[in-house]
């Protein structure tokens, strides 16, 4: 069930004849991988209606902004961009502007109040309704439609056409929403309670992708390790480890990745499924966020630094050659120098292959935004710089450990800086540069010859 501002909506027309043949669209995406994947689906839906991609928003008949609330200044960026589109819309009133994603979900009515020239506002679970909402707005004027608490798995389409950026690699959503309550995170508020897709639907989508030539899939969810808890299949709930093993049986898929697990829910069954399923890559993104027990408790993360390191050791014991990345937030409210030292201690002990490091900035609507103990910006910056220096040294050292190894790599495409070099990835997701011209999607063996701070150089063997 969805909550619609305007009632009397026409029912979903399925299947439908393409209604916008020859018209053009442009999708602009803000934020995370989840949004990237939703944008691929939105593009796929628009193309299924006969539309073609435009080079820019100014040239397009339909412009979709897929928004995010997580990044800093997200509101300013969105309304600034909408402001620039207002003049285009005045010149070409037939142009339709759609705003979707997390901010649309959160600020449904505000978007239409602040930008009356927007035609459609749609929420995070209403992506599959884009064509119907477009039809509706053409006939009746601006509309906003977002999910509410009664949204269920029945409301999620099992498969949507997607216009993927890559021919050989694809995202596959396994859950939406999140049942955790990390105090810095807006996701539970804008994406709602966790809803898992049924295993059969996930496997059907992966099989179809394999038939389309995809060789690598990344399973996507806010907390993949709690996958299936909300499902009841003949009295039992499916688990993520079982799903990994089943995806591993799909013929034609040679690499499986997933993101993101929550450390508190990451258990041995998943590590064993990774180790025992040949096509699951030896790569784990395990977000630490902080090494301080006090800060982790204030974040509502459900583990401490010691517990995190134990989970990591368990995973490394079970999965030989595991590459590990993480996320770390510096300057959470109340973080003292001692707390920050605890983070550095865990980072030193964990020896992550790479880390995404963030400076805390309050997100309106999250508990952390109203917490006492704000850390001054210059202190955050100084701690952040120390963390980055330490992690860069570790990343470089981990890269040097790869020299001399022969690895299977998958070519992504030509290097952005040198057309005579391709960028590929190891199973551990390390970027590798190789001289030569190989098409995207090529698998090859490569010998790692040299390490750079953030990538490797190799030769085809
Ligand atoms: S696990 Fe925490 S950080 Fe991740 S989406 Fe859920 S609430 Fe946000």
First to last CA, the chain: 55
What CA–CA distances, in Å, run from 91 to 118, 138, 142, 335? 14, 17, 18, 51
Q: 8 versus 42: which is more confidently predicted?
A: 42
Q: What percent of the chain has pLDDT over 90?
A: 65
Q: Whose CA is nearest to atom 8 of ligand 1?
A: 185
CA distance 336 to 373: 9
Pairing type for strands 443-451 and 406-414 reads antiparallel
Q: 239 versus 156: which is more confidently predicted?
A: 239
Ligand 1 center to 178 CA (angstroms): 6
Helix count (H) and strand count (E) of the chain? Answer: 13, 20
Residues listed for the chain: 461
pTM over 0.85: no
pLDDT tens digits, 75-124: 788 888 999 999 999 999 999 999 998 888 888 778 888 998 999 998 87
In this structure, what token pair is assigned to residue 325? 């990345």
Crossing angle for the helix pair 268-276 and 240-247, to the nearest 10 degrees: 10
Ligand 1 center to 222 CA (angstroms): 6
What CATH number is associated with residue 295? 3.80.30.20
* Overall average pLDDT of the 271-277 stretch: 98
Cα Rg of the chain, angstroms: 23
Ligand 1 atom with the shortest distance to the CA of 191: 5
Range of the domain at 229: 156-400
Ligand 1 pocket test, pick from 31, 32, 176, 185 with the greatest ligand atom count within 8 Å of Cβ, gives 185
Asked if 189 and 123 sit in the same domain, the reply is: no
Q: Confidence class of residue 2 from pLDDT cuts 50, 70 and 90?
A: very low
Q: Whose CA is nearest to atom 5 of ligand 1?
A: 222
Ligand 1 center to 443 CA (angstroms): 34
pLDDT of residue 22: 86
In this structure, what token pair is assigned to residue 370? 């109203």
Ligand 1 pocket test, pick from 189, 191, 227, 262 with the greatest ligand atom count within 8 Å of Cβ, gives 262
The residue among 355, 382, 400 that closes a domain is 400
Burial status of residue 410 (CB atoms within 10 A of its CB: 0-12, 13-18, 19 or more)? buried
The residue among 134, 153, 172 that closes a domain is 153
CA distance 418 to 435: 9
Number of domains in the chain: 3
CA distance 135 to 142: 11
pLDDT tens digits, 59-86: 999 999 998 876 667 778 888 899 999 9
Q: Confidence class of residue 13 from pLDDT cuts 50, 70 and 90?
A: very low
Strand partners, 446: 407, 460
Q: What is the dihedral of CA 23, 67, 120, 128, to 10 degrees?
A: 70
Asked if 78 and 175 sit in the same domain, the reply is: no
Task: Answer for the pair 228, 238: CB distance below 8 angstroms, yes or no.
Answer: yes
What CATH number is associated with residue 425? 2.40.50.140
- Give the contacts of 61 (CB within 8 A, at least 6 positions apart): 20, 23, 24, 25, 51, 54, 94, 95, 96
DSSP 140: H
Mean pLDDT, rounded, of the chain: 89
Asked if 90 and 7 sit in the same domain, the reply is: yes
Asked if 247 and 224 sit in the same domain, the reply is: yes
* Pocket (CB within 6 angstroms of ligand 1): 178, 180, 182, 185, 187-188, 222-223, 262
Burial status of residue 43 (CB atoms within 10 A of its CB: 0-12, 13-18, 19 or more)? buried
Pairing type for strands 443-451 and 24-29 reads unpaired
pLDDT of residue 249: 97
Ligand 1 center to 129 CA (angstroms): 26
* Overall average pLDDT of the 445-460 stretch: 96
DSSP string, 202-229: HHHHHHHHHHTT--EEEEE-TTGGGTTT
Ligand 1 center to 165 CA (angstroms): 26
pLDDT of residue 12: 36
**Predicted confidence (pLDDT) at residue 203 exceeds the cutoff of 80:** yes
The residue among 120, 138, 153 that closes a domain is 153
Ligand 1 pocket test, pick from 175, 181, 182, 329 with the greatest ligand atom count within 8 Å of Cβ, gives 182
Asked if 184 and 248 sit in the same domain, the reply is: yes
Unique residue bearing structure tokens 């999620």: 156
Q: Confidence class of residue 1 from pLDDT cuts 50, 70 and 90?
A: very low
DSSP string, 60-129: -SEEEEEE-SSSTTHHHHHHHHHHHHHHHHHH-TT-EEEEEEHHHHHTHHHHHHH-TT--EEE-TT-GGG
Asked if 305 and 417 sit in the same domain, the reply is: no
DSSP string, 9-21: PPPPP-S-----T
Nearest Cα neighbor of 55 from 80, 95, 25 is: 25
Ligand 1 atom with the shortest distance to the CA of 289: 3
DSSP 352: -
Asked if 177 and 147 sit in the same domain, the reply is: no
pLDDT tens digits, 289-344: 999 999 999 999 999 999 999 999 999 999 999 999 999 999 999 999 999 999 99
**Coil, helix or strand for 170?**
strand
**Predicted confidence (pLDDT) at residue 448 exceeds the cutoff of 90:** yes
pLDDT tens digits, 124-183: 778 888 888 888 888 878 888 777 655 555 455 545 566 677 889 999 989 988 999 999
Asked if 133 and 207 sit in the same domain, the reply is: no
Q: Whose CA is nearest to atom 4 of ligand 1?
A: 222
Alpha helix stretches (DSSP H) within 277-414? 293-298, 305-318, 337-350, 377-400
Burial status of residue 359 (CB atoms within 10 A of its CB: 0-12, 13-18, 19 or more)? middle
The top-scoring range by mean pLDDT among 14-18, 218-222, 314-318 is: 314-318
Q: Secondary structure of the chain: what % helix, strand, coil (to 5)? A: 35, 25, 40
In this structure, what token pair is assigned to residue 361? 């900035």
Asked if 173 and 193 sit in the same domain, the reply is: yes
**Coil, helix or strand for 458?**
strand
Unique residue bearing structure tokens 């920050």: 340
Asked if 94 and 8 sit in the same domain, the reply is: yes
CA distance 65 to 51: 17
In this structure, what token pair is assigned to residue 356? 């995404």
Asked if 298 and 192 sit in the same domain, the reply is: yes
CA distance 105 to 213: 34
pLDDT of residue 31: 77
CA distance 297 to 333: 12
Asked if 392 and 421 sit in the same domain, the reply is: no
CA distance 206 to 222: 19
CA distance 191 to 57: 27
What CATH number is associated with residue 10? 3.40.50.12160
């Amino acid at each position: 069930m969805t909550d619609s501002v305007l009632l009397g909506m026409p029912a979903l027309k399925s299947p439908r004849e393409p209604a916008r043949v020859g018209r053009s669209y442009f999708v602009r995406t803000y934020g995370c991988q989840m949004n990237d994947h939703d944008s691929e689906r939105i593009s796929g839906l628009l193309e299924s209606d006969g539309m073609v991609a435009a080079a820019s928003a100014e040239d397009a008949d339909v412009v979709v902004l897929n928004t995010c609330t997580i990044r800093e200044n997200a509101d300013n960026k969105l309304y600034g961009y909408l402001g620039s589109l207002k003049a285009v819309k005045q010149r070409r009133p037939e142009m339709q502007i759609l705003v979707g994603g997390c901010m649309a979900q959160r600020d449904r009515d505000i978007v239409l109040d602040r930008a009356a020239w927007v035609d459609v506002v749609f929420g995070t679970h209403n992506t599959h309704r884009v064509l119907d909402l477009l039809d509706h707005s053409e006939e009746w004027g601006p509309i906003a439609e977002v999910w509410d608490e009664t949204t269920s798995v029945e409301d999620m389409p099992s498969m949507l056409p997607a216009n993927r950026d890559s021919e050989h690699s694809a995202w596959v959503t396994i859950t939406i929403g999140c049942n955790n309550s990390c105090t810095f995170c807006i996701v539970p508020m804008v994406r709602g309670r966790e809803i898992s897709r049924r295993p059969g639907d996930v496997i059907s989508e992966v099989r179809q992708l394999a038939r389309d030539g995809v060789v690598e899939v990344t399973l996507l969810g806010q907390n993949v390790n709690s996958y299936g808890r909300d499902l009841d299949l003949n009295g039992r709930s499916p688990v993520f480890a079982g799903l990994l093993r089943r995806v591993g049986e799909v013929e034609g898929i040679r690499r499986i990745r997933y993101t993101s697990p929550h450390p508190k829910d990451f258990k041995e069954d998943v590590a064993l499924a990774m180790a025992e399923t040949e096509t699951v890559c030896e790569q784990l993104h395990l977000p630490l966020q902080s090494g301080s027990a006090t800060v982790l408790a204030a974040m509502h993360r459900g583990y401490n630094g010691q517990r995190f390191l134990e989970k990591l050791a368990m995973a490394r014991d079970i999965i030989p050659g595991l590459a590990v990345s993480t996320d770390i937030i510096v300057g959470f409210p109340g973080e003292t120098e001692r707390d920050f030292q605890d983070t550095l201690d865990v980072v030193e002990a964990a020896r992550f292959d790479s880390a995404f490091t963030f400076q805390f900035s309050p997100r309106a609507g999250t508990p952390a935004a109203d917490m006492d103990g704000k850390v001054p910006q210059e202190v955050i910056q100084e701690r952040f710089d120390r963390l980055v220096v330490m992690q860069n040294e570790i990343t470089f050292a981990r890269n040097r450990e790869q020299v001399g190894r022969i690895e299977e790599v998958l070519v992504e495409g030509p290097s952005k800086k040198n057309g005579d070099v391709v960028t590929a990835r190891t199973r551990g997701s390390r970027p590798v540069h190789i001289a030569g011209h190989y098409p995207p999607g090529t698998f090859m063996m490569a010998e790692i010859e040299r390490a750079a701070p953030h990538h490797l150089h190799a030769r085809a063997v």
